């Protein structure tokens, strides 16, 4: 599918990008190549092919869910200017 220079100019305007007059032909050719690739992909027969999230049947190896740090909550609460019932108290900023 060929893309003419008027279409490229209109697309550039809609996308709010500047394309110089010297590069309009190159951009037009590249857009035509992309549209040809899309046409090729649409021509592929995919009926009966199950959708998949990833082309490889790999399993993500997860780390063990273990606590690796000590609980320092009380220590951090003591550093806060104000706290109450295990919560940080902060000044109200929105009425």
Q: Is 38 a domain residue?
A: yes
pLDDT at 71: 93
Tell me the CATH number at 25: 1.10.20
Determine if the pTM surpasses 0.85: no
Residue 32: name the closest of 11, 16, 52 by CA: 11
Each residue's pLDDT, cut to its tens digit, for the chain (95 residues) gives 678 889 999 999 999 999 998 999 999 999 999 999 999 999 999 899 888 888 888 888 898 999 999 999 999 999 999 999 999 999 989 87
Helix (H, G, I), strand (E, B) or coil at 65: coil
Q: What angle do CA 23, 24, 28 make, to 5 degrees?
A: 120
Q: How many CA atoms lie within 13 A of 72 on its CB side?
A: 7
Q: Taking each helix axis from N to C terminus, what angle separates 24-43 and 5-15, rounded to the nearest 10 degrees?
A: 90
- The tokens for 13 are 């305007």
Structural domain including 17 reads 5-43
Q: How many independent structural domains does the chain possess?
A: 1
């Amino acid at each position: 599918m060929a893309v003419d220079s008027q279409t490229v100019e209109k697309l550039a305007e809609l996308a709010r990008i500047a394309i110089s007059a010297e590069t309009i032909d190159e951009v037009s050719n590249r857009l035509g190549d992309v549209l040809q690739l899309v046409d090729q992909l649409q021509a592929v027969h995919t009926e009966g092919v199950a959708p998949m999230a990833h082309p490889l049947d790999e399993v993500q190896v997860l780390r063990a869910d273990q606590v690796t740090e000590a609980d320092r909550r009380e220590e951090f609460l003591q550093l806060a200017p104000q706290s109450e019932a295990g919560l940080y108290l902060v000044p109200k900023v929105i009425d």
